[in-house]
Structure 1
């Protein structure tokens, strides 16, 4: 037992019965358990109890042992002046000031199911995936579990986006560029692609978007890939980059994306060319993404995006590939872009002006297939099979924000398991 768990049980009223008696044997009726206080002061505020035919209103303090009142130095602290009950797991000593002022002490040890304590201990044990995997049951997923998790995740993302908007003078198009670059980089190059996008003044990028050769030259040049041209096309890109560097006084800071551990279709050369193609083909990209009426319209914006002609038979500079194919964005890759870049920005843009944004954004996620990765596979092994991106995003959020930190006492699944 620890104090956090004791507070949790008190807040959610998880007891064998409520026929409480204080340590003196007097009937103690809890009329209001109080409001859980996460700041300094008593653990529960504005509680209400009935004892010895008296109704008392005030604060309730919880401890594992009665003696913790002394060890925590609450005596004499004005924040703890209005205590109407001392609730403990084990009553080990009498507290004189409570006895003198007829403040009841409630010992909870016999009101808590030992099986519940065993469950909690099991949650804290080392596990391969999530703390409750040994007792997890899909039926314990609460109603609206996925919808609530998605909204929490979007709110977290929205705060990050709003901070970036402040940094970049409320320029949504610039922040979209950064978000898309991050998504195009996938796991290996996401931070580097984002850094690359941030190192380019978006005004410059926007001015040259009608010239795909210059867009690629800018991106490739900022990666320092054009120093030693290997063929005619790389020579053209180098010439264009030197022109842009001189005209716009570009920074000499270079980014170095990684090729290792990547399949050729995900090489940074291909992904950056596709990013350039996306902007070249869509002169009003931000507006199109924000105003698209449904998921099909969003997908359509990306379906014709392909790396430039040079990459038809190349994956890297100067090396002709025996495999010749147009490097278009796949439907799975477009889904990742929508999930990780477009929809969070769309939610942020509309959340303060559209009453229906939560329903609209949920519908869009529901119309995207669920992701497939190691975490999702682990959830599937426990019986949680996400039907769409709304549910897979929910499970990913839950894993990263609650399961990894073993924050079971703030988990809706944990609450359901503890009560069962």
Structure 2
């Protein structure tokens, strides 16, 4: 079957051409792995699925993805897997490269004694053996570059090239109707990808967790979408209560934005709220605070005031406290956007309705 003509070109064909060189419109670019923390967030969301094969050929199914580790040791705790049908529980370690287990000396570290699965993204030329301090072999799963590319769904180049790309010439001669159809197909394709991703999270963590994580990521926009997603993963909706100050305190504390002296640096009329946050946070911090090495990577600079992560977390806290109503509207079938927008427009918070950051005057 030949290539489609210019007038009948589909978005699927154009996408395949861009993503899979050496077809017509490919732009070459070097591929680098995302930061390890982003890989961890993708893994925890179920983006790569839950069924795998180890390098030794064993079937692995993730029964329970566990929870983020906030301190030293393996990346995820209380994980449950089925290895060739046999249930095993313990920890999971995720590394960029299969050889990192040796480079990081996990094999001699007793904190990694209970690891039941090692996940990596770069195979080594030589066979890498993963063993605990007790010389127990740890099953290995390696995510291929093709799997990672499909999950990331990123353009070949993050920054637009400073010259017309190879797709410009054929698209220039497309009729208006063809371009409109192509744009419509592209929007449908993007919506389908987002829906599939949401359903994967729902399969792994449940509908409420999927909606909570998706909402948090949306609030983060591009600059803090990863950070907000990680916050929602580390502080699941089930960990938040109905108490206003407790919910705010847990989210801001787990995000790393609270400190004992914060209220002293803030304007006078904000100190009471900040003092309440800290008094609630110190009771909860042992369960939610992460070490510096596992701090969430926030971007606070270069943001419009309304998009500052402080304000976005405040919005997430407000939504968590009205979750039953928000959930009902967001998951209504058929979905109606207007009731959701009216609900969001009506959100009020005694502090965040009037402030952009924890220490700002407005």
- The alignment's TM-score, normalised by the length of structure 2, stands at 0.47
- The alignment's TM-score, normalised by the length of structure 1, stands at 0.41
Q: Please state which structure has a larger fraction of its residues in helix.
A: 1
